[in-house]
Structure 1
């Protein structure tokens, strides 16, 4: 039996956050590329009973629509979100039953993190293993927090580095550009700081995504939670459902 057929009921949309997701999931979960508008609807129509949203495309294509997540939830599916686009959508849809997982989801849910681009990064295509070319701000912050907690860098240095990182466009964010723009004391050793940051890098997005994959692999059967809302079949939704975007 093909691997996808054997695991067709649990689907995860993931790419640059966990490039090796297929090896990690084995045959328990169907791994699909980052989601775009219509992909979650398509997964529901194909018979999925649980969906994990980690990565999603957004810049040159229409992103995952909240409405298709609500549709999945209204049909009794478990929908999990973490790490990247999944964390964003979970923070926006958790009141309807979407399950957010991980530190980044909690940061969005509590308002500690607000900007959608804080999880974004520039990366190579799937054919080149989604290699990361820039740093997501959420990982920069997690790295600074851990190093400051371990007293590997001073709190004021961490704050200056974080401000510099936040000021950069996500496609330009690297340790070199961050440190170059940081307002550090004149006697700060920028080379030593760069070495420390690279060595102590915390990939919070990957950690949260792995937690989602582990949880998704444990799910058996439909969701049993009580639903206190009704899905509204709008005309725009009907058009999407009847004619979903073609998968590129």
Structure 2
């Protein structure tokens, strides 16, 4: 295990597979305060944010990422919450990787839940229990290019997926709703799609996570990244409250650089 690199990972990629790509300290999907705690306890050189918690607990705040950057820690984001935060904080030194990161950078007002999925508890591996909307979009686009479904049916399917809460979003749910809501003329296309999906679903989240871990592994043993000037951090009352709400002892931040 290499504590110089901390990776927050869950439904985007199984940790067992990730460990074969990059030696690092792997942690469950990050929630509020976890990045600060990792910096305090592990003193990493690099933090990789791939997956984060949604809904049931407060998610990773922008401010704690800025705080970690101010301590000289390099932070990379990809795939899921990491891609979203990297797109939002690219101007402050967080580094993004992959198609999903570039999509968030280029699409104004893209929804956070494009990358959200239901997941198992961390104790059970935090595996995905559904499908991400961004992955479904890409897969349905490929189905159109393969001649499996017409473009207007794709739009219906994406619309159903968008209107479904991310905790319930899955291909089976979308197809079941489509059978009930879409005109009968599309029945054969839906049957063809259901069969095609068994072998052709695309997980861009997984692809991006693998790509970033491989990129970092290729640089292992050398200077892994170019030096980045640490941004100045301004402590705020809201940031302190967030950490206290997360159960973090704010007194432990006393020796850090602001």
* Aligned match of 1:114: 110
TM-score normalised by the chain length of structure 2? 0.82
Q: Which of 140, 147, 150 in structure 2 is aligned with 1:144? A: 140
Return 5+ residue gaps in structure 1 as ranges: none
Question: In the alignment, is the contact (CA less than 8 A) between 1:76 and 1:223 conserved in 2?
Answer: no
Q: Is the 8 A contact 1:121 1:136 kept in 2?
A: yes
In the alignment, which of 154, 161, 166 is matched to residue 165 of structure 1?
Answer: 161
Whether the 8 Å CA contact 1:76–1:224 is kept in 2: the answer is no
> What residue number does 1:231 align with?
233
User: How many Å apart are 1:37 and its aligned residue?
Assistant: 1.2
Distance 1:199 1:23 in 2: 20
**C-alpha contact (below 8 Å) 2:3/2:44 kept by paired residues:** yes
Q: Give the 3 Å change call, closer, same or farther, for CA 92–126 of structure 1 in structure 2.
A: same
Change (3 A) 1:161 1:221: closer
Gaps of 5+ in 2: 250-258
C-alpha distance in structure 2 between counterparts of 1:193 and 1:244, whole Å: 44
**Whole-Å separation in 2 of the counterparts to 1:240 and 1:207:** 32
Q: Secondary structure at the match of 1:171?
A: coil
User: Which residue of 2 is the match for residue 44 of structure 1?
Assistant: 39
Superposed CA RMSD in Å reads: 2.6
Give 1:163 shift. 1.4
Where does residue 209 of structure 1 map in the other structure? 209
For structure 1, which segment, 195-204 or 150-159, has the greater mean C-alpha deviation from structure 2 after superposition? 150-159
Residues 1-248 of structure 1: pairs in structure 2 closer than 5 A: 3=1, 7-19=2-14, 21-26=15-20, 28-45=23-40, 46-111=42-107, 114-182=110-178, 184-188=182-186, 189=188, 190-217=190-217, 218=219, 220=223, 223-226=226-229, 229-238=231-240, 245=247
* SS at structure 1 position matched to 2:185: coil
Cα deviation digits, residues 193-212 of structure 1 (max 9, x gap)? 21223321001111111112
